[in-house]
Amino acid sequence: KKLVILISGTGSNLQAILHACRSGQLAAEITAVVSNKASAGGLDYAREAGIPALSLDPAAFSDRQQFDRQLMAEIDNFHPDLVVLAGYMRILSPEFVARYTGRMLNIHPSLLPAYPGLHTHRQVLENGDREHGSSVHFVTEELDGGPVILQSRLPVFPGETEQQLQARVKAEEHSLYPQAIRWFLEGRLALRNHQAWLDNIPL
């Protein structure tokens, strides 16, 4: 099975997924990594691993729709079974979402539906929450709002910094995301009627 991974930054989730593929935990191949930022560290990592890695510059397109159409063309060249958003920090056009609905996942660093959007760790600390985590979900038109597939939960430690909390959340993500991807590739996971299903049981 083929994965195309979209990133904007470090790509630590990309690394975890690649490791899962190469160690045989995932019966899949990453056929391309695409970024909206040429400076994304994950692109270098992918190239060193021998994976086609390319970036598209939003400034070179007249609007979001044009950018997303080019992005779709690039993605479709690599024939993915699943499109994996791994720290891809750009709003998706409705046309883009529609093309990959049911075969596109995202990972978001909060216990959704809590804290969609940016700066989740900071908000968790500011609000004095005792629990935090991360969620893998199907991508729908609502930002960080699609049906949740899997979550990891962790306690927030007293006096913890935003960076420390982020690091602990990311460490969890690195096993969470490959697990959800595996379910999808095994044909066990589906999006039906705006709901996520695992083995024909609603999640």
Interface ranges with ligand GRF (CB under 6 A): 7, 9-13, 86-87, 107-109, 134, 170, 173
Q: How many helices (H) and strands (E) does the chain have?
A: 6, 10
Residue with tokens 């994965």: 3
13 with 92: CB under 8 angstroms? no
Strands 131-138 and 148-155, by their bridges, are antiparallel
Residue 177 or 184: the one with the smaller Cβ distance to ligand GRF is: 177
Q: Specify the residue, 69 or 114, whose C-beta has the smaller distance to ligand GRF.
A: 114
CA-nearest of 200, 185, 6 to 103 is 185
Q: Which is nearer to ligand GRF, 69 or 116 (CB)?
A: 116
Stretch (H or E) spanning 74: helix 64-77
Does residue 194 have an active-site annotation? no
Please, which residue, 134 or 140, has the CB nearer to ligand GRF? 134
User: What is the nearest approach in angstroms of ligand GRF to the Cβ of residue 187?
Assistant: 25
CB of 82 to ligand GRF, least distance (A): 16
What is the nearest approach in angstroms of ligand GRF to the Cβ of residue 169? 6
The least CB distance from residue 18 to ligand GRF, in Å, is 11
Catalytic pick among 79, 108, 119, 132: 108
Selection from 11, 60, 15 nearest residue 40 by Cα: 11
Give whole-number Cα distances, 56 to 92, 121, 160, in Å: 14, 29, 37
| Residue number of the CB atom closest to ligand GRF | 87
What are the residue numbers of the active site? Answer: 108
